[in-house]
């Protein structure tokens, strides 16, 4: 139920903001707005404000919206109102009305990111977990437990790393931009500072997917290899493990963090553990129970593995928060366009396209984590909606802007016959994109 409510609220807010952008600029340009609709299909609610010419509607299907303006191409317009018809407006006004929707979504994202920056968010500290042995991180000399202070996307200047999430975002950008990265790290107490090179320029952009960070070897922050809740009847309980036990070794392998311990458990087989309990060393043996998963058979011991990561509060002042919100919105917009371009030329897998089922899933998950995480989710989807609508595809706002660009260059509008052909092409492209996204959704959730 939470997922459904969070999804509907997200769609309602984002659609309303988008359409309000069109509506507000249309009114400012002197265009008569006949209807402002959130949702499509049969109207559920409709009303007019005092002294308002516009009918406001909430419709049955919350999957879109529209602003219907006075326009000779749709119906007859009385001669005394011709000056208020959309199609009679100069090119600059029509373009402003069209671009206002996507810009409203981008401005909403800036505002939401700014609010989160002002309030502050607790994020994991940038301490690295032990990487897998064949990853780029392991080859660069990362062993686990390193605290990352700075990250440098070469040849730019180094940037301070305030949390694990900011570092992960920078790594994603580096892969898409094919740039090497230098990490300035130290031990957890801040001593023994050194620099490590990650050759991400050799990383294929086609590998940009959910497993990208796993291939790099930086997936999650460091956690203490401690045992949490133990389930009765499972190998952990039968071996004598208790909550609070700290795991030091498994089959002679020194355990550096919770992620490494989980990997050793998943490998299965008979294992000899050396642990510390209330300051005293102990040895015990156990054999993880093998279970079938989508990744194949993995070992389970029936215990919560790993402590919570160390957290830091990331908070910014008024102007700094707005600046960071602008930067984040710009970076996500640029990265989205870059990924779309690389999908078109085949450098990035189409598996990265997400549809309504994935969005709904993330809406519910973010809402369950708290309202600040939900605001971040709304900001991300708002950026995506703004960028998507600016694509030069017929049926989208960017397609209309493409028509206006042609009109501005040639001095006359696009031929009606050509516009009809382009509209059909745009519908086909959008249907293909939606089909791929829906297939990806099903594969992720039920595959």
* Closest by Cα among 119, 115, 127 to 168: 127
Write the pLDDT tens digit of every residue in 261-305: 998 999 888 999 999 999 899 999 999 999 887 777 888 999 999
**pLDDT at residue 347 in the model:** 67
Q: What is the pLDDT of residue 76?
A: 84
Summarised one tens digit per residue, pLDDT across range 215-250 is 888 888 999 999 999 999 899 999 999 999 999 999
Residue range 109-126: average pLDDT? 94
The secondary structure of 233-254 as a DSSP string is TSHHHHHT--TTPEEEEETTEE
Q: Is 88 exposed, middle or buried (0-12, 13-18, 19+ CB in 10 A)?
A: middle
End-to-end CA distance of the chain: 22
Lowest mean pLDDT among 43-52, 191-200, 358-367: 358-367
Give kind and range of the element (H or E) at residue 44: strand 33-48
Q: What SS3 state is found at 147?
A: strand
What the block records as the tokens of 302 is 């029936």
Percent residues over pLDDT 90 in the chain: 42
User: Which residues are registered as beta bridge partners of 33?
Assistant: 69
Give the angle 22-24-25 at the CA atoms, nearest 5°: 70
Q: What is the DSSP string of 334-352?
A: HHHHHHHHHHHHTSS-GGG
**pLDDT of the residue at 81:** 84
Structure tokens at 297: 């058979």
Query: Rounded to whole angstroms, how far apart are CA atoms 339 and 65?
Result: 27
pLDDT of residue 318: 92
Compute the average pLDDT of residues 425-433. Answer: 78
Q: Whose structure tokens read 């900011």?
A: 166
CA atoms within 13 A on the CB side of 58: 8
What is the structure's pLDDT at 272?
A: 95
Tokens of 4: 């459904």
143 is catalytic: no
Confidence band, pLDDT 50/70/90 cuts, at residue 112: very high
* Confidence bin at 102 (pLDDT 50/70/90): very high
Catalytic residue, candidates 19, 123, 150, 291: 19
Question: What band does 206 get if pLDDT is binned at 50, 70 and 90?
Answer: low
Which residues have C-beta within 8 Å of that of residue 381, sequence separation ≥ 6? 10, 14, 359
Is residue 61 within 8 A of residue 39, CB to CB? The reply is yes
Supply the pLDDT for residue 348: 67
pLDDT above 70 as % of the chain = 95
**C-alpha–C-alpha distance, residues 170 and 149, integer Å:** 13
Pairing of strands 303-305, 296-300: unpaired
pLDDT of 1 over the 80 cut: no
Distance separating alpha carbons of residues 188 and 369, to the nearest angstrom: 28
Phi-psi bin for 139: left (phi > 0), alpha (psi -120 to 50), beta?
alpha
pLDDT average, residue stretch 316-332: 93
Count Cβ atoms within 10 A of the Cβ of residue 249 and give its class: 0-12 exposed, 13-18 middle, 19 or more buried. Answer: middle
pLDDT number for residue 208:
61
Burial of 51 (0-12, 13-18, 19+ CB in 10 A): exposed
User: So what's the pLDDT on residue 2?
Assistant: 79
For residue 314, the surrounding DSSP H or E stretch is strand 311-314
What's the pTM value of the predicted model, to 2 decimals? 0.84
Please state, as a whole number, how many other Cβ atoms lie within 10 Å of the Cβ of residue 162.
Answer: 16
pLDDT at 94 over 60: yes
Q: pLDDT-derived band of residue 50, with 50, 70 and 90 as boundaries?
A: confident
Q: What is the mean pLDDT of the chain?
A: 87
Euclidean distance between CA atoms 110 and 407, whole angstroms: 32
337-364: burial string, b at 16+ Cβ within 10 Å, e else? ebbbebbeeebbbeeebbbebbbbbbbb
Residue 441's pLDDT is: 67
Spatial separation of the C-alpha atoms in residues 434 and 63, rounded to whole Å: 13
Query: Residue 116 above 90 pLDDT?
Result: yes
Q: Residue 429's pLDDT is what?
A: 77
Mean pLDDT of 422-444: 76
């Amino acid at each position: 139920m939470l997922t459904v409510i969070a999804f509907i609220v997200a769609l309602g807010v984002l659609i309303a903001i988008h359409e309000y952008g069109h509506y507000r600029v249309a009114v400012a340009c002197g265009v008569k707005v006949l209807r402002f609709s959130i949702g499509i299909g049969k109207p559920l609610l409709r009303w007019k404000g005092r002294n308002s010419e516009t009918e406001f509607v909430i419709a049955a299907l919350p999957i879109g919206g529209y602003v219907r303006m006075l326009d000779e191409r749709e119906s007859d317009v009385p001669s005394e109102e011709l000056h208020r018809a959309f199609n009679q407006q100069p090119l600059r006004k029509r373009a402003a009305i069209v671009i206002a929707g996507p810009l409203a979504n981008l401005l909403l994202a800036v505002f939401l990111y700014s609010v989160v920056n002002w309030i502050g968010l607790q994020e994991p500290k940038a301490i690295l977990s032990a990487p897998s042995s064949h990853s780029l991180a392991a080859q660069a000399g990362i062993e686990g437990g390193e605290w990352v202070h700075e990250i440098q996307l070469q040849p730019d200047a180094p940037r301070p790393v305030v949390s694990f999430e900011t570092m992960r975002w920078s790594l994603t950008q580096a892969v898409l931009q094919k740039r090497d990265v230098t990490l300035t790290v130290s031990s957890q107490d801040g001593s023994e500072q050194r620099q490590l090179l990650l050759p991400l320029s050799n990383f294929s952009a086609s590998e940009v997917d959910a497993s990208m960070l796993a291939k790099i070897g930086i997936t999650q922050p460091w956690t203490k290899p401690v045992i949490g809740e133990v389930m009765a009847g499972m190998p952990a309980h039968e071996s004598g493990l208790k909550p609070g036990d700290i795991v030091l070794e498994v089959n002679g392998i020194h355990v550096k963090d919770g992620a490494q311990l989980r990997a050793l458990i998943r490998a299965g087989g008979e294992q000899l553990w050396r642990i510390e309990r209330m300051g005293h060393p102990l040895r015990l043996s156990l054999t993880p129970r093998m279970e079938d998963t989508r990744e194949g058979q993995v070992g389970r011991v029936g215990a919560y593995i790993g402590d919570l990561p160390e957290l830091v509060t990331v908070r910014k002042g008024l102007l700094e928060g707005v600046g960071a919100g602008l930067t984040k919105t710009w970076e996500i917009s640029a990265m989205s366009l870059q990924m779309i371009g690389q999908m078109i030329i085949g450098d990035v897998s189409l598996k990265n396209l997400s549809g309504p089922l994935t969005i709904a899933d993330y809406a519910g998950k973010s809402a369950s984590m708290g309202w600040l995480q939900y605001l971040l989710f709304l900001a991300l989807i708002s950026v995506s909606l703004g960028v998507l609508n600016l694509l030069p595809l017929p049926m989208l706002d960017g397609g209309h802007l493409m028509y206006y660009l042609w009109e501005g260059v040639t001095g006359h509008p696009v031929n009606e016959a050509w516009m009809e052909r382009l509209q059909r092409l745009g519908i086909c492209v959008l249907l293909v994109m939606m089909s791929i996204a829906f297939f990806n959704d099903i594969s992720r959730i039920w595959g």
